[in-house]
């Protein structure tokens, strides 16, 4: 029979894990984090709209920059929609609980 060995942990903290820890908002409440996310989505959607309108008006904007901005806005909006869906599911689950 073949034996399977566990993956050994890496010694010390990785630089990436330290960077992720330092970016976490400390002391912020949930509504502030949610509001910050909504502002980010709004900003990215406005930037995509501005670049798309400039491209349509014939300004000299590289097409790939417009596409990257639009894709970033789409991803931000999708993330916010998924977060909303999860929050609604959690709320509905709480409402179904019997006390």
- Model-level pTM greater than 0.85? no
Per the domain annotation, does 24 fall within a domain?
Answer: no
In a domain, 71, yes or no: yes
Q: Could you read off the pLDDT of 70-99 as tens digits, one per residue?
A: 999 999 999 999 999 999 999 999 999 987
Within 8 A by CB and 6+ apart from 45, the residues are: 73, 76, 77
| Domain contains 78 | yes
* Residue 12 located in a structural domain: no
92 is in which domain, residue-wise? 30-96
Q: Is 62 inside a domain boundary?
A: yes
Whether 61 is covered by a domain: the verdict is yes
When divided into structural domains, the chain yields a total of 1
pLDDT tens for each residue of 14-23: 555 555 555 6
In a domain, 36, yes or no: yes
């Amino acid at each position: 029979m073949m034996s399977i060995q566990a993956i050994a942990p890496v010694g010390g903290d990785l630089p990436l894990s330290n960077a992720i820890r330092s970016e976490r908002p400390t002391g912020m409440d949930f509504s502030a984090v949610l509001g910050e996310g909504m502002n980010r989505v709004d900003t990215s959607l406005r930037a995509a709209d501005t670049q798309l309108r400039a491209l349509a008006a014939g300004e000299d904007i590289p097409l790939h920059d417009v596409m990257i901005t639009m894709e970033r806005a789409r991803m931000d909006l999708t993330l916010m929609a998924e977060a909303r869906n999860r929050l609604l599911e959690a709320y509905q689950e709480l409402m179904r609980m019997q006390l």
